[in-house]
Amino acid sequence: MRFSLSTIVAVAALTSQASASLMSQYSTSSSFNPTELRLVQTEAGTEWVTEADKLELKRAGTNFMDITDHEDLGVTALLDMTNTTYPTELLFQDEVAPLIGNISTAAMKMNLEIFSSFFNRFYKAKTGGDSSMWLFNTVKAIAGVNPNVTVFPFHHAWPQKSLVAKIPGINAGTALDRTVIVGAHQDSMNLLFPSLFGAPGADDDGSGTVTILETFRVLIESGFQPNNTIEFHWYSAEEGGLLGSQAIFAEYSKRQIAVTAMLQQDMTGYVAKTLEAGEPEAIGVVTDFVHPALTEFIKTAITGYASIPYVETSCGYACSDHASAAKAGYPSAFVIESAFENTNPFIHSVKDTVDRLSFEHMAEHAKLTLGYVYELAYYNFTSPPVPASA
Ligand code: BES
Ligand code: ZN
């Protein structure tokens, strides 16, 4: 399906979001070519479609990966980490407790207010590039106090960079070297008109972005030194069909990086619908298209580290960036703010704003993330677990 000019004009006229200044922004942004052909993979198979068709797929709720640039992701993978095992008991609750006490809802709020104030974070737009620069500088400022930590941008064919912050493990460079990843996506998108309309993306996925950023800050400020390598990833272009994360995992697969766990958090802040339904506030653990054993460990970590329970839910095929890790042969898991049916109804619009979110709920996700990182940082992935501090 293509957009005719009359559709474009009608949508613009009908929508109060459009203004003369935004129009000029549209004409100068690197923007959206509705007729460009892309290869997409849905649960049903692969097909060539236009960028406009991709928008239609999203609007219809059909999840897809845009595999144009990484058609053979996983096909030629030399590593298959999917037989990995995980801790069945938590060994670091005493060490993590003081770190949990350092989680700051004020820091998350301050960061999210800035991050969601970019007009949009559309990956093809200049503002999407600007927001990734802000995030890069913010992550670097946190890492700055620790000379071991590296922060690097991962460049793409569009303005918005993916970002990787790496805390090398003691095991780095040895046969025991393993990598544990925490991820979120940094881009946002207005489904009516990606290049033209605003998309504050406070929940999707500004919330996941600041949740893992806060976890990173608390760990770095504690002087954390893991055995396994820990990486924080902020993916570009998730909304375009998992483009940034596919590029990263294609590269990791090519370099034979031994990723034993990837936890994606996409939307961590909205609880209103859960509470209105009279249900208890809980972390949504996604159980479809995920690694079962890693997901079991995530449940154990929620029970041991968060102050609220979990609820099992599903999100569908290629719902977020964990699907790119899985396709590359890496175990991945996914948690969201609630049961799927209670998630934020305002995403992909101008209404995805900070005032609708709970920073206390984001803090629960941060607690889980601290527990996940700490437990896996010292887990011996190649033989029975031996805590480094024991
Ligand atoms: N954050 C959403 C996915 C989501 C929706 C998670 C509701 C939890 C609750 C994500 O950014 C998204 O929009 N994904 C696309 C698929 C993508 C591959 C194009 C989707 O779900 O349509
Ligand atoms: Zn999202």
**Ligand 1 contacts CB of residue 184 (under 6 A):** no
Tell me the C-alpha distance between 183 and 142, whole Å: 17
* Distance separating alpha carbons of residues 369 and 339, to the nearest angstrom: 19
> Quick check: helix, strand or coil at residue 285?
strand
pLDDT of residue 175: 87
The whole-angstrom separation of Cα 200 and Cα 184 is 16
Q: How far is the CA of 205 from the centre of ligand 2 (A)?
A: 5
Q: What is the longest distance spanned by two Cα atoms in the chain?
A: 69
Q: Is the CB of 92 under 6 A from ligand 1?
A: no
Q: Give the number of other Cβ atoms within 10 Å of residue 8's Cβ.
A: 13
- Asked whether 334 and 286 are in contact (CB, 8 A), the reply is yes
Cβ of 319 below 6 Å from ligand 1: yes
Residue 249's contacts (CB-CB under 8 Å, 6 or more residues apart) are: 73, 324, 325, 327, 328, 330
Q: Is the bond into 205 cis (omega within 30 degrees of 0)?
A: yes
How many CA atoms, within 13 angstroms, populate the side-chain half-sphere of residue 45?
A: 2
Ligand 1 contact, 321 CB (< 6 A): no
The ligand 1 atom at the shortest distance from the C-alpha of residue 266 is 1
Contact 368, 298 (CB under 8 A): yes
C-alpha–C-alpha distance, residues 210 and 217, integer Å = 10
Pinpoint the residues of the chain covered by CATH 3.40.630.10: 76-387
Rounded Cα gap, residues 297 and 315, in angstroms: 19
One digit per residue, the tens of pLDDT, for the chain of length 390 reads 343 434 433 333 333 333 333 333 333 345 678 888 999 999 999 999 999 999 999 999 999 999 999 999 988 777 889 899 999 999 999 999 999 999 999 999 999 999 999 999 999 999 999 999 999 999 999 999 688 899 999 999 999 999 999 999 999 999 899 999 999 999 999 999 999 999 999 999 999 999 999 999 999 999 999 999 999 999 999 999 999 999 999 999 999 999 999 999 999 999 999 999 999 999 999 999 999 999 999 999 999 999 999 999 999 999 999 999 999 999 999 999 999 999 999 999 999 999 999 999 999 999 999 999 999 999 999 854 444 554
Ligand 1 pocket, 58 CB below 6 A? yes
Beta bridge partners of 204: none
Alpha helix stretches (DSSP H) within the chain: 5-14, 20-28, 51-59, 93-101, 105-115, 126-143, 208-221, 243-254, 272-276, 292-305, 322-327, 359-377
317 Cα–ligand 1 center, Å: 10
Domain 76-387 is of which CATH architecture? Answer: 3-Layer(aba) Sandwich (3.40)
Q: Residue with the nearest Cα to atom 4 of ligand 1?
A: 319
